Amino acid sequence: MTHPENTQLQADIELKETPNTGIAEVEQKFQQLDLQSIGLQPADFQDVMAAHKELAEINHNAVAEYGKNIATKTSSYTDELLNLVQNKDLDATGQKLNQVVQVAQQLNTSSILNKSKNSGFFGSIFSKFKGAKNSFDQHFNTTKEQIDALVKEIETSQNGLKARVNTLDKMFGGVQEEYKQLGVYVAAGKLKEQEIQQEIAVLTAQEQDQSTTQKIYDLNHLANNLEKRVSDLQVLQQSAMQTLPMIRIIQSNNLMLVDKFYAIKNITLPAWKNQISLAISLQEQKNSVQLANSIDDATNELLKRNADLLHQNSVDTAKANQRSVIDIETLEHVQNTLIKTVNDVIQIQKEGMQKRDEAASRLRTLQDNLNHLVLESSSSGSNPN
């Protein structure tokens, strides 16, 4: 079998005989490509010709390996970006900010009113307010320590986010360069496709013999593989283009998170601490009123609960005494369900018989179609072109 390398060697010899004409023709074809869609400019012609040399000896291996290095590098950028998106530090920083909010919210007047399980009914009410100021002061100091510790942890994460923004800038430039390089390989591949098609056209115009027919077949096969490879590179290029806004979005999110933390640390937390200090005095003023209201509320609640329980028990006892053993509604439901069950079973049996008849008819049709297909296949096999 004749290899397409021989045909390529002949084409290279002809190009060397008229180098200026050959290069000018290739450059003209390059200018006719949709350069903007693949991120190139007319000045990138020399880079395209350098990539074009990788396909000088066109064969299956050359097509399979074409653009492999640049595609692998682009894939590495994508993997690195995914690792950044999934980085746990970002989630940890958000969780620490939430913890700051939760810790501050826990410091309220109700959180320090611990119930005593060993006191009597009214004794438990008094114990809620006994030593309220001391408990609140202690809780305030503990909360302040928690917030200060969380602030230090978030500062560490914040520095990591700032450093990651710089890393993303470098990645952005690298992906831009890879996008252009993919365009160079796509353009070189498209030019090579045109050369192969021209060669196929020349061979097709010649008198056909076994050798020429085999060359045309091999070239067509290589052209199809090269077209598929170029298409894959274009897909990678589009993926690289989509990666660029993703990088900017991640950078923007990091910067917004850093700015948000500055606002919380410098504005929100000082305001919380001031308000918490005021809450200590306000709590003392509120304790006496809460104590009186709690006693009154508990007394009224106890009286109402006993009255409601007495009424409910009396009504339930009377209803239970007047109810028959089996309700007439239950008997009606049982009989109606039995009738419906018999009717549904009969209907299902009828439908099953009908579906089996239809299935038998459709099975015969499938068998006839298969027999017809086998006969046609046998006829075409005995009469090759």
Give residue-wise pLDDT tens across range 177-186.
888 888 888 8
Half-sphere CA count of 261, side-chain side, radius 13 A: 26
- Over residues 29-55, mean pLDDT: 81
Confidence of residue 120 (pLDDT cuts 50, 70, 90): low
Q: Which pLDDT belongs to residue 297? A: 85
Cβ-based neighbours of 66, under 8 Å, separated by 6 or more: 54, 55, 185, 189, 226, 229
Length of the chain: 385
Most confidently predicted of 190-194, 202-206, 246-250, 350-354: 350-354
Residue 69 predicted with pLDDT over 90 = no
- Over residues 156-183, mean pLDDT: 81
The rounded mean pLDDT for the chain is 75
Alpha helix positions (H), 264-327: 269-322
Q: For residue range 108-117, list pLDDT tens digits in order.
A: 444 443 444 4
User: In angstroms, how far apart are the furthest CA atoms of the chain?
Assistant: 117
| Cβ–Cβ under 8 Å, residues 218 and 2 | yes
Residue 229 predicted with pLDDT over 50 = yes
| Cβ–Cβ under 8 Å, residues 193 and 223 | yes
Domain locations along the chain:
332-367
| Cβ–Cβ under 8 Å, residues 222 and 196 | yes
Q: Which helix (H) or strand (E) holds 355?
A: helix 328-381
Looking at residue 324, its amino acid is S
Q: Which pLDDT belongs to residue 6? A: 40
Q: Which helix (H) or strand (E) holds 254?
A: helix 210-263
Q: Which pLDDT belongs to residue 138? A: 62
Q: What is the DSSP letter of 59?
A: -
Half-sphere CA count of 57, side-chain side, radius 13 A: 4
Q: Which of 184, 194, 238 is nearest to 58 (CA)?
A: 194
Least confident of 60-69, 110-119, 219-228, 374-383: 110-119
- Over residues 320-334, mean pLDDT: 83
Confidence of residue 296 (pLDDT cuts 50, 70, 90): confident
Q: Which pLDDT belongs to residue 103? A: 64
- Over residues 167-187, mean pLDDT: 84
3-state secondary structure of 120: coil
- Over residues 329-353, mean pLDDT: 91
Residue 343 predicted with pLDDT over 90 = yes
Q: Which of 203, 223, 220, 221 is nearest to 212 (CA)?
A: 203
Q: Which helix (H) or strand (E) holds 29?
A: helix 19-32
Residue-by-residue DSSP string for 75-92: HHHHHHHHHHHT-HHHHH
Residue 375 predicted with pLDDT over 50 = yes
Locus of tokens 């560490």: 156
- Over residues 340-350, mean pLDDT: 92
